[in-house]
Amino acid sequence: MERTQIYLTETQTIELDKRARLQGTTRSHLIREAVETYLAPRWDPEAFKAALDRFAGVWADRDDIDEIHEGMREAGRRKMKQLYPDYGSEADDADDRR
């Protein structure tokens, strides 16, 4: 292990010390974990493929997909109507110059 020095703000030091106490570890250990996380590869294609393989077919035995889809569409329409009161009305269509 190589020794290094860093400058932290007072707030960073206080928060690190709190977390270290709560986790029963040291400030140095938390900093090493943070650096390790920062340097870790962000994309692991093999892990992603494995996750997709585990996910495939998760809803294969469902027979209510159409109802779920329609419910989601209806929720979207309600939200649009809430955000834009003229959404879906003839007044809205009258301004459409397509």
Compute the distance between CA of residue 28 and CA of residue 13 in angstroms, rounded to an integer.
11
Q: For residue 89, what is the DSSP state?
A: S
CB 6 within 8 A of CB 31: yes
Closest C-alpha among 61, 84, 7 to residue 16: 7
Write down the pLDDT at residue 90: 67
Write down the pLDDT at residue 14: 97
20-42: pLDDT as tens digits = 999 999 999 999 999 999 998 88
For the chain, residues with pLDDT lower than 70 are 90-98
Tokens for 62, please give them.
Answer: 């469902």
**In 30-73, at which residue ranges do the beta strands (DSSP E only) sit?**
none
User: Does the predicted model carry a pTM greater than 0.75?
Assistant: no
The domain spans of the chain are 10-40, 48-94
